[in-house]
Amino acid sequence: MHDSALSLLPPFVAIAIAVWRKNALLALLVGVVMSYLMAATWQPIDGVVGTINGFVDVFSSTGNVYIISFSLLIGAMVKLLSDSGAVNGFINHLARMNLVKNKRQASMLPTVIGTSIFTDTNLSMFTAGMASQQLFDKHKLSRARLAYLIDSTCAPISILFLINGWGAYVLGLLDGFDFNDPVGILIGTISYNFYAIIAVALAYYTAYSGKVFGPMAKATSLVDTDEESIEPKSGPARVMWIPLLSLLSITLGLLYVTGDGDMRRGSGSFSVFWAIVSACTMVVAMVTYYRLLNPKEVGQSFINGILYMAPAVAILVLSFAFGDAIKALGTGHYVSELMNVKVSPVFIAPILFIAAAVMAFATGTSWGTFAILVPIAVPIALETGLPVPFLVAAVLGGGIFGDHASPISDTTVVASIASGCDHYEHVKTQLPYALFGAIVTIVLYIIIGLTL
């Protein structure tokens, strides 16, 4: 069963359940249980014991605990920034600066914000969207264009500048392979993540040139301007941007220290954990100092933020367990040997990109996609001699494209809400851009494959 065709059964079943039930949690859980049942030669008791031990092993890893804690604390920090009015304060501060005087500047504003706040995708989208809605209405720009600009910057930039939950998550998947420099591999994926790079470049081109194509050119997104709105709570803008800058600088500083002067060899999980602890402490201190929330409200927001991230963290834990389980079964090793014999190296990256895209499109989430395909992509790279960052980037880029194209993706839904755009219109108008980026990416992967 080990290193055989049967080792493909758990990931195939997980993918089928994810597509059928649109539930990444259930898919990963079934995949984990099936993997350990197979490892125990279908003995139920041994399979259950193996499954329990697999989850225990996830939490026995200090690096995993750091990454899980980071993901929970990110939710707490974002919730505190939102409830305290710091996000609204930042938006109002931008409005007072009066930076926008024409259509080009109106389009550039959400694009720049979307690529600047890469700590959390939802925070970035809501900040960019809410700051720009009235400006887009004023300059007669459609809300569909706004939704496209924030969706095509916030998510891709988060997978390129990986000092966030996504980076910590992928780092955790890589940590299971005992690489000497997992941070270096993570950084190496950036230059190969062509879809994310193209998506951001297209967004900037659209914002600067004002040119739109396909259904976007006909989008109107009529807005009812007669509705009365309640003035939201607003706090000092510095309560938002100082902790976010601190999160970035502390992470980079700790990577430098733990890597003895080489950030690529630093401890990523240690660095992001203590950076988020410091940033959260700073947010709590500033919110308390400016009396934006009382102690009870601070505690409630903190807890609500953690609870909000609980489903994502559950996927994170299951992903780590599933990655360990299929690695023990030798799934990745078997697939790598199969591809080495039957698939030209030129087409391996495109195949991984398309597989990740299809799964993310069908499930609406990249995280489950990464959990299944990264543990397969790494052994393929090691067996074929292709660069590990190259194949991992193909999985990451495919997941982002699937997210962009999928109408059930959480990022697509959030972009629609943050921009005040009809959800179907957003999906319809963004799809041609996403497909263009995907086609160019596949061509580039083939070209790169020919040169390696």
Structure confidence by residue, pLDDT tens digits, 408-421: 777 887 788 788 88
Tens digits of residue pLDDT in 174-230 = 877 878 888 889 999 999 999 999 999 999 999 999 999 888 988 765 554 444 455
Exposure b/e, 309-324, CB count within 10 A at least 16 = b = beebbebbbbbbbbbb
pLDDT for position 364: 67
Tens digits of residue pLDDT in 69-101 = 988 898 898 889 989 998 888 878 877 887 778
Tens digits of residue pLDDT in 345-370 = 899 999 999 988 988 886 667 877 88
Give the Cα separation of 33 and 25 in Å (integer): 12
**Is the pTM here over 0.85, yes or no?**
no
- Residue closest to 388 by CA, chosen among 398, 375, 401: 375
pLDDT for position 3: 59
One-letter amino acid of 361: F
Q: How many alpha carbons fall within 13 Å on the CB side of residue 379?
A: 22
Q: Is the pLDDT of residue 10 over 50?
A: yes
pLDDT for position 225: 47
Count of CB atoms situated within 10 Å of the CB of 138: 12
Cα angle vertex 94, ends 146, 152, to 5°? 25
Tens digits of residue pLDDT in 220-276 = 655 544 444 555 678 898 998 899 889 888 988 988 898 888 776 778 788 889 988
Q: Is the pLDDT of residue 45 over 60?
A: yes
What does pLDDT average to over the chain? 85
pLDDT for position 173: 85
